[in-house]
Every structure is written in structure tokens, then in C-alpha cells.
Amino acid sequence: MDKILRVRMSSKPEYSIEEVGDYAGIGGRALTSKVIFTEVPPLCHPLGPENKLVIAPGLMSGSAAAISGRLSVGCKSPLTGTIKESNAGGQAAQVLAKIGYAAIILEGESPEGKLYTLIVRKDSVEIVPADDITGLNNYAAVEKLVAKYGEKCAYMSIGSAGERKMANSSIAVTDMELRPTRHCGRGGVGAVMASKGIKALVLDDAGCSVRKPVNDEAFKAANKEFIAGIKKHAVSGQGLPAYGTNVLANVINEAGGFPTNNFTTGQFDKVHNISGETQAETETSRGGLATHGCHRGCVIQCSGTYVDKDGNYITKQPEYETVWAHGANCGIDDLDAIARMDRMDDDFGLDTIEMGATIGVAMEAGLCEFGDAEGAMKLVREVGEGTPLGRILGSGAAVAAKTFGIERAPVVKGQAMPAYDPRPIQGIGVTYATTPMGADHTAGYAIATNILKVGGFVDPLKPQGQIELSRNLQIATAAIDSTGMCLFIAFPILDQPETFNAFVDLINAFHGLNLTADDVTALGKDILTWEREFNKRAGFTKEHDRLPMYFKRERLAPHDAIFDVTDEELDQVFNW
Amino acid sequence: MDKILRVRMSSKPEYSIEEVGDYAGIGGRALTSKVIFTEVPPLCHPLGPENKLVIAPGLMSGSAAAISGRLSVGCKSPLTGTIKESNAGGQAAQVLAKIGYAAIILEGESPEGKLYTLIVRKDSVEIVPADDITGLNNYAAVEKLVAKYGEKCAYMSIGSAGERKMANSSIAVTDMELRPTRHCGRGGVGAVMASKGIKALVLDDAGCSVRKPVNDEAFKAANKEFIAGIKKHAVSGQGLPAYGTNVLANVINEAGGFPTNNFTTGQFDKVHNISGETQAETETSRGGLATHGCHRGCVIQCSGTYVDKDGNYITKQPEYETVWAHGANCGIDDLDAIARMDRMDDDFGLDTIEMGATIGVAMEAGLCEFGDAEGAMKLVREVGEGTPLGRILGSGAAVAAKTFGIERAPVVKGQAMPAYDPRPIQGIGVTYATTPMGADHTAGYAIATNILKVGGFVDPLKPQGQIELSRNLQIATAAIDSTGMCLFIAFPILDQPETFNAFVDLINAFHGLNLTADDVTALGKDILTWEREFNKRAGFTKEHDRLPMYFKRERLAPHDAIFDVTDEELDQVFNW
């Protein structure tokens, strides 16, 4: 991880391999955000040659540290116009780190829109025309790539949405079964990869070893303690493995914060039909899997496999946010339909949150009725076909609302809110409003403390305490997103001091460092500062750190809640 | 003009008539911008109930002052998100001023999207369901209204684009022939009127007189001198009456600043076929009119009537910007096709500049070939039909480019640049970048001095002097836009001191004031300050006062020009 691969796209693509230099000692989101902040002109067009796409494994990726396989992709986002870090599981981070790259940086543009495959091996880099897979969606493209490059590589690819440079296009990352099911979903990163002329990456770690810790014994001890801590905690050790992330459906619905029918009510009367419990039972009864990891080294196993009534694979277990987006948010209670939309999203290369939120907006605009699963599936297919309607829907909820002439787009900075209504869960509203990423639950997951009572408790219905909560979570998250560790380690490390200590020990033992908790906090603050400074130079102000006005006007049942954290309070989030 | 009519739309529409109060002594753009600045929360959604639509005649409208019939419409714009003043000729300003209203302010929203007709008479106001005209485009709607309310009223209306709340929808104003040909075009004001539930306004000045000056004799003398000055100047007295605004086609093409094929070159090899000279000859040879006023009291007569080969009316004489937008910018050299698109734009209620720029973007995205007039007409029809593609195109060039995934959208703050490329004509580039309105030539028409050598000469190809030029023009324009005077008075008042004096004398004599040139400047600065402060509170910064980056990267033939006014210089425009 002491090299950077820099690929310059033009009519004559070329690359160079550099020392990591000024970017040494950081990984994941810290690295992507530092490169974008340092090298990309903030006023550039996201699809223009001045933008860059940075692909970085975490600081611990490729090692034996538990659950360290998260990948960060960074750029200026075509969806939001802000800096963007989009994060996925799958195999790519581990493989890329083992090959020895701290980052791949894609620069320039492909003049005639020609697409290439970038093949990265221990001792070679190739940029070859992707004519064989151009025009294919992710499943078909990956199948062809696997046939050609083998089952030991990790693959990243864009589908038709990315090729069409849609603002909601993702980059797919293959999972352990070589399926393109893990996505850098948010912010349209797929369109940026397309604008650089890259259809797919083949990451081949043949001949590479697991990265070795500086202090092997301390590392092993810390890892053991860390894993024990993860398994001990009720959320990461029981809830998530048993039911996957969709364990939240009943919980958030009970809290009255389950956005239903495009954020018009906070409870879905058919939640039972799409809950994690029902989903797990459906999966196991049909021969699917309710417990499974998204990458090697995962000790939580919150994923799974969703199969049809005949036991045939449809998609990986749809996540809570996906089940919500294509389910409750559209009034849909049909798990099979939701799974088929998840499959289409993965195949076309679309963020499921943005896609479901966009269909909610389209339903409000009258394109089909809330609850119409067939109608919703037809809308997703339009995106895959690239029809004019598909172009609208593939541009995300904000553009769709503008195009249809309606006010009620649940977005911040052009990005759709995920599966938690900010009115009865005000802490997450603070995160939506203020994170440099546009509405994003993962940027500061206040649900932990507002609802799950992890890391204490802050009453979700009141504005008091939400600023501090979101601030602390945003700082911690930025740091965690830099390690390659799955964000779900936050549950045990917030609640169990010994697990937090093991987490820090793990990093120290691996890198031969003496970081303290304060250093972790300082890193989180640095990352947020780079990101916010980029956004400021791109024209973002405190006025963009706001929820849409209707969240302060329209009360949400059952709590009759509006978002009542004041603007002045919001402006204090980064005043540390 | 001492009253304000305030209409509150809800499930039970109501109105009140107020004294002009704090808004006394100003008209037109000064009044619309002051009301929006004072009363509208800058972060509201443009289509939400917190936005307002202000309709204001100029300070001199309804009087015998020459060429004083311009109308201002103000709101927060759905196209740009900025404050907006959109300005049109036609009969409405004169009639509304004679009825005695300084402004009509539309507030609230129509909950079920129901549309009403607002009828304003000397002694009465009515808000009646518009079921008889809902769903009709402007020509058909106005025809029905005229049949019902008579030929002596002025009418304002929205077509299907406005009803669909498209971001490029206009408000049509009837001309002397009761045709909906004069438009408050820019910024999507039609969508705001629709969101307020108003389909049309009937303005009936029966029983009202021409507004009387305080000092009749001085007024008459000043008006005579003012008219003489307008008629004496080469642009307002000869060029515009002879060939209409399209007299500019050859001039701007010669200067290499005639944006062709979506701003990829600065000269159109077929300009002869669409020039003002050819257009006037075509009109007169077919029995149309090349010289005509857009409202009673006009002494320039730059409009006309465009008829088909059989002498049947198609549309009013398309303006220079329209001929450019639907012509050169799309590689189209067919005046008849351009006229038919102008007619469709007027009928559906669309801004011709934005529509043509959007088709240019669509052509670049491959929807049809540059030069394909039939293809372009089909695209405009899609907007009228409200198909998904029409929804994209009706949302303006910026949204279309985002939806099609292309970089080259010639926009500032979401609004399309008009018919002058900012690279070889750098003064207009400064105006595009910095005006609070989004790219808008009328906000500070640097063409006057860069190309026409009115008010001196500043070399269009060099950055030197452009800041001062744009600053002074923006200040003067804001003031002129407040009088109800046509902006074309700028040509004589910039060049002829005696005409400027007559202009000030005219205002003073009418209102019994003693304004000096400094007072006029101060008013212009006040207006710009309100507008910029609104925008600042809506989240706009100096980073939004920029041209798209490709105007600094891609050189434009024939001058091989890029826009090279620096950002630091741009930031000095309002530093007076």
C-alpha cells in the first residue's frame, strides 16, 4: 500500500505508478477526500476532464484484521455537486490492498466516449478496449470478465446507467461469489467512471500475500479482542447476523420514523410483510441464506441470498434501506418485487436508495399509484432501457421532482434521504442536513443513539442533544471510513470501551503506531474539514445545510412531528 | 398606482387591496425585487406556498410617456433558485397601471392544483374557476377569454408548460392584436403562477384614464425631446425599426460571437438565410409586417408579423435571440421552421432562449442532428405534449444536460446563455456570470459597447474594462427596468446626454420629483443589493458567479477565444 496508480485517460490512455508521498499513512475516505480536495478544481464539471475518480482501500484492508474490506471511491459528485465518498463492501478493497495500491486515481476523459478495461496485477497494469463488455449490464459484464480473467480476481464495473452517465449510477464491486452485488452506490460515481472511459477494473492479487502487521503478536491479540467485542454486542452479534440490516424495518416503523409513500407518514401498515424477520424466514424456507458476509474477513455476516419460490437466485439479500426504498416508500409490501428491483438496480448499476426515493417522487407526480409493484418495476426497467422517462428517473429524486414540477423531493444537496424520517428522528435529520455528502445516513448514524440506544440515548423527538450527537458520529464515522472497517463496528465500539481500545490497538499494532483516541478524532475532523472546504470552494454554504422547507411545515404521523432543530443549531455542528 | 392587490390562494381563495405603503415610489423590477426580498423566505421551494409571484407595471407605465409599457414579474425562480425579474412588453403594464395597481401579489398555493382566472377591474376583483380554459394553450385560452371579456382588456396566461410546472415556462402577455406573443419568458415564472393556481389574468381598464403627470407642461416637453432622441439614434431610430432585433444576426456573426451548434463555433455559415435583413424581406414580400410595436406608446417599432407563404399569420416577428436559439444554435437556417417553433413556444408558454439552448444540448446528446429543423420541431412538440422527453426539455438546458449526462450546458445559475458567446464578447460574459438573474443578456447588455460602440467602446476580445462596463450597465439596467421603459432606450440615453436628461426630466415631471442622475444610479444599486442579498440567503456565493469551466478550456473559432476575465476580477463587479 505504498504506491498510487495514476491512469490518465485521453485518446491515448497511459498510466504511471507513484510513491504514495504526501498521501502516506491514510486510507479509504481520508485518502479519497484528501486527493479530491488537493487535486480537483472545486468548480469543475463532475463529468469533465478536470474531475478525478479515486479508488482507495482502507488503511487496514488486505490485512487479517476483521471486517476490513470496505472500499472508498471519491470524486466530485454529478448528483450533488459536492465532494463524494461512496463506500462498498465486496472483495475489491482486500485485493487492491494486497496488490499494494493505496489508491487508483483516474484522470482526464475518454474523448469519444470509448470504454476500456483496466487490469491491475502485482507487476503489471493494462488498459485494454472494453468492446467485449460495452453495453452490457453488470451481471453479464462480470460473467464475461470472470470467464476471461478467472475466479480469483475482484471486479468493479458499471452497468448501462453508468455508461449513460446517469447521476444515480453506481460502481459495482463483486462479492465472494463473483456477483456484482456490492455497490459504491451514492452520488453517481458510475457516471464519473464512465466519463473517464473505464467500464471495468480487474483486480488480480495472484502472487500477493496478506499484508503483514508490524507487531504480529499485539495485532493478533487485538484482533481477537476486537472480534469478541463485535460478537458480544446485541446489534452486531445478534440482530444483524440473524435478520440482516432489515432487522430495522419493525424497529423504525415502531418508532414512527419509517418513511412511507414518499415521506407522507411515518408508519407502514404492511410492514410485517417486508420486515427482516419475514425476509429471513422467506429466504431460509426457500433455500436461500439469511446469514452471509459481503467480503472475506467479515465477522458480522449481515448479508444473505434471496431466492425465488423455486430456490433460484434473484439477488443478494436486499438491505434495509433497499427494502424501505422500493417497499414502504412506494407503499409496496411485496418482498419478491423488491428483490427483483434490487437485482435490476445492481444489474443496471443504480443506487437503490436514490432509485426508490425517485420512484416515490414519480408516484407522487402521478406516474403510478403508491403500492403498485408492477408499475414500480416498470419504472426501474425504463431506467435500464434508457428511455427518456428512464433518463429522468436515473437522474435521481431531485431532478425527477424538478422535471415533474413537484415540491416534495426528500433530498439534501440533491441526494435523496434514506430510510429514516428526520422529523421523528431528529438526530438523523441533523446528519442529513449537514454532512458534506448530501443526505446520507451512514455519515453520522444517529439512529444508533436515537433509536437503538447505542452509545447512550438522545430522545429522537426533541431537538436537544442532536447537534452534539451528529457531530460526534460524523467525526467517528469519517475516521472509521478510512480504516476499511465496516461501519457496523460502531455499535460495539460506541458501547464497549474495551472494543474501542482493541480497535485502536489493532491499527497501532499493524502499522507500528501509538495512536490514541484523540488521534482518531483528529483524523475524523481533518477529513470533514477537507470535505467541507472543497464544498465551500464549490459554492456550498450553510444555506445548503438545511432540510427542504416542507419538513418544517408538514407534520408526520403518528408523532405529529416536524423537524425543529433550528438553523442556528445546525450551524454549530462543525463548530468544534 | 397607489394600491397593491394581494391574492391569497388556498382551498378558499381571497384577496385584499392595500395601500402601497413601504413600497411607494418604485415600480417594475424595483418593486418586484423589493417585495421578494422583503417577503419571501430565500430557502423556500419555488413551487411551494412560501414563494410569491409579483406582477408590477413600471413607474411610468399607464402614462403618456413614450415606450413605457414594460411589465415586471418577480418571484424565486424554479429554473435558477435565485430571485427573478422577468420582463415583457405587451399591453398588460399600461392597463394594470391605469387601473391603479402598483402590483398584484399572488401568495399561497392552490391545494389540488385547481386553476382560476383572476379578473381585475377598476372597482372589482374576481377569482373564478378557470375550468373553461384549463388545459388550453395560450392562443386558444386567450381566444376564449377575449370572447368572454372583450377586446379592450389585456390578458396574461400560462400554457401547457406552465400548467405542468415546467422550469422553462413563461407567462404570456397579449399584444395590441390580443395575441399571446409577449412573454415574461425567463426563469420559469409560468410554473410559479400555476403553483398559485392562476391560469390567467384579465386586466380591464374600462373607466380608467391615462395617468396624469404632476407637471403636465414639463412632461410634454421632456417626452417630445425623449422621443426625438430615440428616433435620432442609429440603433433605436433606424436599425431596430427597419429589421427588428434580428438586425443583430449579421453583426454578431461578423464579430465571431454568434454561438453556433451549441456554442461550438462563433460563426454560422448560413447566417444570411436567417438574418434580420432576410427576415424583413421575407415578411414584407409575403404581406407580413417588418415594423410594428409590441405595445401602445412604442416609438421604436422593432417587432413585426411573420406570415407563411400564403400570407397567413404564423407568429409575431421572432426576435434576434429566438432566431439564434432555434436557428444558429441548432445549425438551422430555415426561417419558417424557426417561426413555427416561436409560435409553439408562445403557445405552450416557453422561453424561446431556454428552449433553443435546450434543443442545442439535446442535439449534442444525439437526439437529432444539428441542422435538422424537422427534428427540432418535433422536440418542441414533445414539450407541448408533456411526454417524458418533453418534461426533460421543458426543464431547461441545465436539467437536460444533467439528464443526458453531458458536460456542455451553456448555463449560469441554471439559466441558458442567450445569443452572444462570452468568449469573443467578454463584457457579456461578465454580465452572464454575475447578474443575480442567471445568464441574461438584458441584465447588462455589454453588446452595446463591445460591438455596437454605443456608450464608447471596450474591445470585446480583451478582459480589460469589462468589469466596469458590466457594472455600469447592470446598475443602469436595474433602474430602467423599474420605469416600465423599454430597455432599448439605453442606446440613445447612453450616447446622447440630452436624451438621458429628457429621460430623467420625464420621470421628474410626471411624479413631481427632483431626481438627479445620481439618484437613478442609487436606485439601480439598491435593486441589485436586494437581489444579491436574497440570493446570498438562498445559498448563492461568488462561486456561482462563474461561467462553466469549458468556456475557459475550449477555444472558439474564428478568434480562438477563451473567456479570460479572472475570477478575482468577476468578484469586483459589485464592489462599487
To the nearest whole Å, the CA of B33 is away from the closest chain A CA by 20
What are the backbone dihedrals phi and psi of residue B184, each rounded to the nearest 5 degrees, phi first? -75, 95
With respect to residue B46, please indicate whether it lies within any of the assigned structural domains.
Answer: yes
Q: Is A406 helix (H, G, I), strand (E, B) or coil?
A: coil
The Cα–Cα gap between B401 and B503 comes to: 43
Other beta carbons less than 10 A from residue A428's beta carbon? 32
The Cα–Cα gap between A151 and A143 comes to: 10
Half-sphere exposure of A301 (CA within 13 A, CB side): 12
Going by C-alpha positions, the residue among A187, A94, A158 that lies closest to residue A346 is: A158
User: For chain B, which ranges sit under pLDDT 50?
Assistant: none
To the nearest whole Å, the CA of B167 is away from the closest chain A CA by 7
Of A194, A539, A548, the CB nearest to B544: A539
To the nearest whole Å, the CA of B153 is away from the closest chain A CA by 31
Q: Name the domain count of chain A.
A: 3
pLDDT at residue A292 in the model: 87
With respect to residue A209, please indicate whether it lies within any of the assigned structural domains.
Answer: no
Residues A38 and A103 in one domain: yes
Of A48, A537, A544, the CB nearest to B549: A48
Residues B189 and B263 in one domain: no
Which residues in A lie closer than 8 A to residue B404 (C-beta atoms)? 165, 391
With respect to residue B196, please indicate whether it lies within any of the assigned structural domains.
Answer: yes
A301 contacts: CB under 8 Å, gap ≥ 6? A240, A241, A291, A292, A293
Helix (H) / strand (E) element for B173: namely strand B171-173
With respect to residue B106, please indicate whether it lies within any of the assigned structural domains.
Answer: yes
Which grid coordinates are listed for A171? 460502481
Residues B346 and B256 in one domain: yes
With respect to residue A19, please indicate whether it lies within any of the assigned structural domains.
Answer: yes
> Is the Cβ pair B539, A544 closer than 8 Å?
yes
Residues A239 and A252 in one domain: no
Task: Give me the DSSP letters along B381-394.
Answer: HHHHHT-HHHHHHT
Going by C-alpha positions, the residue among A198, A139, A126, A111 that lies closest to residue A163 is: A198
Helices (H), A247-368: 248-254, 271-274, 276-286, 320-326, 335-348, 352-364
Question: In terms of C-beta density within 10 A (0-12 exposed, 13-18 middle, 19 or more buried), how is residue B542 classed?
Answer: middle
Q: Write out the residue range of the structural domain in which residue A156 sits.
A: 3-203
User: For chain A, which ranges sit under pLDDT 50?
Assistant: none
> Is the Cβ pair A549, B44 closer than 8 Å?
yes
Are the beta carbons of A563 and A552 closer than 8 angstroms?
yes
Which residues in A lie closer than 8 A to residue B387 (C-beta atoms)? 388
Are the beta carbons of A191 and A165 closer than 8 angstroms?
yes
Residues A482 and A431 in one domain: yes
Of B399, B407, B553, the CB nearest to A47: B407
What are the backbone dihedrals phi and psi of residue B350, each rounded to the nearest 5 degrees, phi first? -135, 150
Tell me which chain B residue has its CA closest to the CA of residue A549.
B44
pLDDT at residue B133 in the model: 98
Are the beta carbons of A245 and A319 closer than 8 angstroms?
yes
Which residues in B lie closer than 8 A to residue A403 (C-beta atoms)? 391-392, 395, 399, 403
What are the backbone dihedrals phi and psi of residue B367, each rounded to the nearest 5 degrees, phi first? -70, -30
Residues B199 and B333 in one domain: no
Are the beta carbons of A426 and A462 closer than 8 angstroms?
yes
DSSP state of A236: I
Other beta carbons less than 10 A from residue B16's beta carbon? 11
Residues B278 and B164 in one domain: no
Tell me which chain B residue has its CA closest to the CA of residue A552.
B44
What are the backbone dihedrals phi and psi of residue B51, each rounded to the nearest 5 degrees, phi first? -75, 160
> Is the Cβ pair A399, B399 closer than 8 Å?
yes
Which grid coordinates are listed for A74? 471519491
pLDDT at residue B73 in the model: 98
Which grid coordinates are listed for A498? 474495551
Residues A479 and A363 in one domain: no
With respect to residue A210, please indicate whether it lies within any of the assigned structural domains.
Answer: no
Structure confidence by residue, pLDDT tens digits, B462-488: 999 999 999 999 999 999 999 999 999
The Cα–Cα gap between B350 and B369 comes to: 22
The Cα–Cα gap between A74 and A27 comes to: 12
Which grid coordinates are listed for A415? 441526494
> Is the Cβ pair A41, B399 closer than 8 Å?
no
Residues B35 and B149 in one domain: yes
With respect to residue A449, please indicate whether it lies within any of the assigned structural domains.
Answer: yes
CATH number for the domain that contains residue A182:
3.60.9.10
Question: What's the ipTM?
Answer: 0.96
In DSSP terms, A306 is beta-bridged to: A315
CATH number for the domain that contains residue A236:
1.10.599.10
In DSSP terms, A55 is beta-bridged to: A73, A104
Residues B184 and B126 in one domain: yes
Q: Is A202 helix (H, G, I), strand (E, B) or coil?
A: strand
pLDDT at residue A290 in the model: 82
Which residues in A lie closer than 8 A to residue B550 (C-beta atoms)? 45, 48
> Is the Cβ pair A539, B538 closer than 8 Å?
no
B interface residues, A as partner, C-beta within 8 Å: 41-45, 47-50, 78, 164-167, 191, 194, 387-389, 391-392, 395, 399, 402-407, 537-541, 543-544, 546, 548-550, 553
The Cα–Cα gap between A52 and A40 comes to: 7
> Is the Cβ pair B48, A537 closer than 8 Å?
no
Residues B386 and B301 in one domain: yes
From A396, A420, A444, the end of a domain falls on A420
pLDDT at residue B265 in the model: 98
Residues A16 and A143 in one domain: yes
Question: In terms of C-beta density within 10 A (0-12 exposed, 13-18 middle, 19 or more buried), how is residue A274 classed?
Answer: buried
Structure confidence by residue, pLDDT tens digits, A332-390: 999 999 999 999 999 999 999 999 999 999 999 999 999 999 999 999 999 999 999 99
Q: Is A155 helix (H, G, I), strand (E, B) or coil?
A: strand
Are the beta carbons of B470 and B515 closer than 8 angstroms?
no
Half-sphere exposure of A405 (CA within 13 A, CB side): 30
Going by C-alpha positions, the residue among A54, A55, A52, A53 that lies closest to residue A70 is: A55
CATH number for the domain that contains residue A381:
1.10.569.10
With respect to residue A312, please indicate whether it lies within any of the assigned structural domains.
Answer: yes
Which residues in A lie closer than 8 A to residue B164 (C-beta atoms)? 405
From A370, A386, A420, the end of a domain falls on A420
> Is the Cβ pair A44, B549 closer than 8 Å?
yes
Q: Is A23 helix (H, G, I), strand (E, B) or coil?
A: helix
Are the beta carbons of B295 and B94 closer than 8 angstroms?
yes
> Is the Cβ pair B405, A167 closer than 8 Å?
yes
Other beta carbons less than 10 A from residue B126's beta carbon? 12
Which of B158, B364, B402, B542 is the mutation pick for testing A, counting most A CBs within 10 A? B402
Half-sphere exposure of B264 (CA within 13 A, CB side): 11
Buried/exposed code over A141-161 (b: 16+ C-beta within 10 A; e: otherwise): bbbebbeebeeebbbbbbbbb
From B203, B221, B240, the end of a domain falls on B203
CA distances from B413 to A47, B106, B183, B194, B370 (A): 18, 25, 21, 23, 25
Which residues in A lie closer than 8 A to residue B47 (C-beta atoms)? 405-407
DSSP state of B5: E
Of B191, B407, B543, the CB nearest to A538: B543
